Amino acid sequence: MLRIKEKEMKFIKIVAALTTLLSLLVFAADASATTLEVNGVAKNSSVTIEAALPGGVSMLLTDTGNVAANTWAVAPLVMKTSTFTGTTVGGSITGMSFTTGTEGNVTVDTAGSFSIERIGTTTNGTLRWSGSKLTIPSFFGPLTCTTSNTDIGTLSGVAAGNAKVIVNAVLPCTVIGTAKLSGTYTVTNPLGLGVTS
């Protein structure tokens, strides 16, 4: 009788261990990974992403009622990764400006950092922005807008040619509470930028 109970206990322990192992394997398989790729080749080193507004396209800041606060025709963006693979990849925003504004140019007090997280099994990624502080002249008066892991929009990846950064964000700002920032960047370097696992 004692031997039977010992065997039962051993069997139960083995089943519990296998169940735990299986759960960990399923979790690992479900955990999304993000890696940038260039022309279909996954990158395991730093990637510098340069983007600009194409001719005829502007970056628009509005209040939540869609009243224009400011519009910029020139807004170059440079981001450099420091992590190469993981749930997200990210790094520092090393260059950013908003000029030729209808209400004046932005003062970038702190550019902050960014992260990209792959969307499903696509070549696209959710772009988030943290630690920035912008002083923005506007129709409503001077605004101070900040970010904290703020969903800015989407990196729309491509196998070849120019990827896009589609900005569609809501930022906390002084004076008006929140402001909507929208516009579409063209990635000028590197060509063929996308997101993979």
pLDDT digits (tens, 9 = 90+) for 23-59: 433 334 345 799 999 999 999 999 999 999 999 999 9
Q: Are 144 and 173 in contact (CB under 8 A)?
A: yes
Residue 12: the pLDDT is: 54
What is the rounded CA–CA span in Å between residue 90 and residue 105? 27
- Secondary structure of residue 13 in the 3-state scheme: helix
CA distance 42 to 26: 24
What region, left, alpha or beta, does residue 177 occupy, with left being phi > 0 and alpha being psi -120 to 50 degrees? left
- Give which of 52, 67, 71, 55 is closest to 182, Cα–Cα: 71
Q: Taking the model in full, what pTM does it have? A: 0.83
pLDDT of residue 8: 59
